Amino acid sequence: MSLKGLRFTLEVDGQEPDTFAVVSFRLTQRQSAPFVLSVDVASDSFMQTAGMLLEKKAVLTVWQGDIAQRHVTGVVA
Contacts of 5 (CB under 8 A, 6+ apart): 64, 65
pLDDT recorded at residue 59: 98
pLDDT recorded at residue 48: 81
Question: For the chain, what is the mean pLDDT?
Answer: 93
What is the percent of the chain where pLDDT is above 70? 96
> What's the pLDDT tens digit per position in 43-68?
998 888 888 899 999 999 999 999 99
pLDDT recorded at residue 1: 62
| Enclosing H/E stretch for 6 | strand 6-12
Per-domain residue ranges of the chain: 6-75
Amino acid letter for position 7: R
Which pTM was predicted?
A: 0.87
Distance CA 74, CA 70 (A): 13
